[in-house]
Amino acid sequence: MKIMIVEDEQTIRDMVGEIIGKWGFHIVKVEDFNEVLQLFLQENPHLVLLDINLPAYDGFYWCQKIRETSKAPIIFLSSRDTPLDMIMAMNMGGDDFINKPFHTDVLMAKINALLRRTYAYIENMEFNVVEHDGIVLNLNSYDLSNKHQKVELTKTEFIILKLLMQSKGTVVSRRDIIRSLWADERFVDENALSVNMTRIRKKIADLGKGDFITTKKGYGYIIL
């Protein structure tokens, strides 16, 4: 997952980036503080760490701008700790507020908790989603999501996509897909399968992943 750091003090920015990187997150550091929104739109991070005191425009401004296009969680990091600052941060669309100086364990606990709540990742529990390349298939509710976008699947579409995603990297034949549907007592012939694949591709394209499924002509499909 990708975390964007908007902090003008280089020492803090590098320290936070190093800590988060050790947890396996991809880090995006803002260097040009006139281009915060542009970099956000380009990188599409899963979470933003945002200072209040910044060059040109403050963190409240950038939080409001990000909220016009995204619901990605935002944690304010600031030495400003008055009740008014905290209220402003929440009113502008922030999800949490951490005062400087902060303990790194507290920072990581808040980041991980907020990511779990936002993206429905569950740790140390029964795995109830299948995820690949940002596309998340919920095994409980038959919906498909990419960040904050979501589409609903029919039962047939769900069975097909579940098989393909759980077999990612391997070509699944059309015959095997049809057999998996028969096992669920759902009759689908070759033409019906083609129609369902077209619908699945359309729904995934609506989530911004138009090339998610590759056709192996004359055989089947693969998710790479």
Chain segment 173-207, per-residue pLDDT in tens: 888 888 877 755 556 678 888 999 999 999 999 99
The mean pLDDT value for 44-51 works out to: 94
Q: Which of 138, 110, 95 is nearest to 16 (CA)?
A: 110
Mean pLDDT of the chain: 87
Q: Where in the chain is the domain with CATH 3.40.50.2300?
A: 2-119
Q: Which pLDDT score is estimated for 123?
A: 41
Q: Where in the chain is the domain with CATH 1.10.10.10?
A: 129-222
Identify residue 100 by its one-letter amino acid code.
Answer: K
Q: Which pLDDT score is estimated for 10?
A: 93
Tokens 């005191």 locate to 53
Spell out a b/e string for 88-127, using b for 16 or more CB atoms within 10 Å of the CB, else e: bbeebbbbbbbeeeeeeeebeebbeebbeebbebeeeeee
Q: Is the pLDDT of residue 11 over 80?
A: yes
64-68, 167-171, 192-196: segment of lowest average pLDDT: 167-171
Fold of 129-222: Arc Repressor Mutant, subunit A (1.10.10)
CA distances from 162 to 136, 149, 181 (A): 10, 19, 11
CATH class in words for 2-119 = alpha beta
Identify residue 53 by its one-letter amino acid code.
Answer: N
The answer to whether the CB of 224 falls within 8 A of the CB of 214 is yes
Strand pairing category for 47-51 and 74-78: parallel
**Residue 93, C-beta contacts closer than 8 angstroms, at least 6 positions apart:** 63, 64, 66, 67, 74
Strand pairing category for 26-29 and 2-6: parallel
The mean pLDDT value for 19-42 works out to: 91
pLDDT tens, 117-163?
887 543 433 447 788 888 999 887 788 998 778 899 998 899 999 99
Dmax over CA atoms of the chain, in Å, equals 66
pTM above 0.75, yes or no: no
